[in-house]
Amino acid sequence: MITINNIKALGFAILVGLCIWFIKDYQYQVKENARISENATQLRKSDSLRFTSQTLNKDEIQEYLNYQNQDLKQKLQEANIKTNRIESIVSTLYKYKDTDKKEFDFTELSNAIISKIPKSVPFQDTTKCMTVKGNLVYQNDSLRLEITEKSFNNKSDAVAYWQRREWSFLGIKTRFLGKKEFTAKTFDQCGQSQVLKIEKAKK
């Protein structure tokens, strides 16, 4: 038999349930807004820091693979790794350009060309990070360059740390007593690297 007290108790239980739902939804929205804001801040700093950390949900990770890193998506498919099982991604882009001038003496080959004698002269170009080996070959009245080996060696360290946020006091910029904020620095032996770290958002 349904009584007034039973109806009141049911109404109270529903009200408590709705309050809990609204509180949890509010807390989730606050957490999501903080995550999105931090991601945007990291992207703004990415050019200067050359290190970006992003916290993405499963749908955003899927979008990243679909539109920004299709090569990785293909490799994951070939390795039979499901995207919904991904916990983190660390992607590093290396850029290296050598503008140092270097000269080689091919007098020996020049003499062979004048005498029309087939000749192969080896050469090697070595910098701090790059080594190129090959041969300059004269044969059958033609001259060709053969590259036999190219090797690249680089060491890159990415360090995440905290610092005081810069603020202004009486027109003077200072970090003293500034709010703590996390940042990062990338150190490359040669060239320049761009590091993107993606973490799956915790539920």
pLDDT tens digits for 166-203?
767 667 776 666 677 666 667 777 777 777 777 787 76
Give the pairing type, strands 51-56 and 192-200: parallel
**Do 113 and 193 fall into the same domain?**
no
**Do 187 and 169 fall into the same domain?**
yes
CA 51, CA 186: separation in Å to the nearest integer?
A: 7
How many domains are there within the chain?
2
Of the candidates 153, 152, 155, which has an alpha carbon nearest to the alpha carbon of residue 187?
155
**Do 50 and 135 fall into the same domain?**
no
**Do 37 and 91 fall into the same domain?**
yes
Question: In the prediction, which pLDDT does 187 show?
Answer: 73
Listed in sequence order, the residues at least 6 apart from 185 whose beta carbon sits closer than 8 Å to its beta carbon are 49, 51, 158, 159, 161
For 66, the enclosing helix (H) or strand (E) is: helix 58-67
Listed in sequence order, the residues at least 6 apart from 11 whose beta carbon sits closer than 8 Å to its beta carbon are none
Confidence check: pLDDT of 2 > 60: no
Question: In the prediction, which pLDDT does 183 show?
Answer: 67
Structure tokens at 8: 């009141």
Structure tokens at 150: 């190219």
For 33, the enclosing helix (H) or strand (E) is: helix 4-49
Of the candidates 125, 124, 120, which has an alpha carbon nearest to the alpha carbon of residue 136?
120
Q: How far is CA 22 from the centre of its chain?
A: 37
pLDDT digits (tens, 9 = 90+) for 29-84: 666 666 666 667 666 666 666 777 788 888 888 888 888 888 888 888 888 888 88
User: Which domain does 47 fall in, by range?
Assistant: 10-57+87-96+154-200
What's the pTM value of the predicted model, to 2 decimals?
0.56
CA 60, CA 198: separation in Å to the nearest integer?
A: 10
